[in-house]
Structure 1
Amino acid sequence: MEKIRHNHIEWLREITHDDSINRISQQAGIPYATLYKRFKSGELATDEIIAIARSYGINPVDAMVKTGLISNEEASGVRGDNALRLCNIESIAKEIVRRDAEKTQLTGNDKNKNAQSATTKAA
């Protein structure tokens, strides 16, 4: 899996509504000098992202996804066949019926296009 890098400082500015480094430092409990260095480097440490997110009422897991530290799939903890284990049988059956109807509709559209094409060629 390729790691997607996001600009941590853009994320920080967005969630803090452009608060000053001093204000963010006070709110998150991160020393001003540390935060200043992070602004210069453009990248925050994971524990700093978590502290800032919490201090601004943001879910830390969402913050880690937004900053590219983890993927959506990793955040949800559910992938592919594992998701099926969480679904009840009725939900699985409904999904099968929905997919079958979608497939039938797509195949029907292809048949109609082929019939129209044949009619146009015959004329």
Structure 2
Amino acid sequence: MKNSFEEWVQEITEGASNREIAMKAGIPMTTFHRKWTKGEFTAEDAVTIARAYGRNPIEALVEQGTLTPDEVHNAGVHPIEEFTMLELSREMLRRVQQQAAVPDYLSEPMDGTGRKKSN
């Protein structure tokens, strides 16, 4: 019987073979097969597989059982789907304003030589 992590791997790899997954993740095939058969994937394996398939390593650690959803939630890491439109809009505005911030030396008057005017 497959565990939650193995089911998650099958889902994110769209049913790829163990050989294909091992190759893409850079895990030796014999090691991958042994861990798959015994359900002994480590946190490092989970992160490696997640990264190989462009998934969030935190998601992998929850599926693998290293982290609980409560631990992730309490750490302030939330899936984007949990944010309201207002929260997303505020964060976008904050980032735009942050990038548009003008350094002091660009907003202070200059003398005719290109130097900052002394008071």
Query: Normalized against structure 2, the TM-score is what?
Result: 0.56
**Contact map agreement 2:4 2:63 (CA 8 A) in 1:** no
Gaps of 5+ in 2: 77-119
SS of equivalent residue, structure 2 residue 55: coil
Code of the residue aligned with 1:9 in structure 2: it is E
1:66 aligns with 2:73: no
Partner of 2:22: 25
Whichever structure has more helix as a proportion of its residues is 1
Aligned-pair identity in percent equals 34
Which 4+ residue blocks in structure 1 deviate beyond 4 angstroms?
none
**Contact map agreement 2:41 2:64 (CA 8 A) in 1:** no
Q: For the residues of structure 1 that align with 2:49 and 2:72, how far apart are their CA atoms?
A: 18
Q: For the residues of structure 1 that align with 2:14 and 2:40, how far apart are their CA atoms?
A: 18
Partner of 1:9: 6
Give the paired residue count: 73
Query: Normalized against structure 1, the TM-score is what?
Result: 0.54
Q: What is the RMSD of the two structures over their aligned residues, measured on CA atoms?
A: 1.5
Q: For the residues of structure 2 that align with 1:17 and 1:11, how far apart are their CA atoms?
A: 10
Deviations, residues 38-90 of structure 1 (Å, cap 9, x unaligned):
11102311111100000001100111112222012322414xxxxxxxxxxxx
Gaps of 5+ in 1: 1-5, 79-123
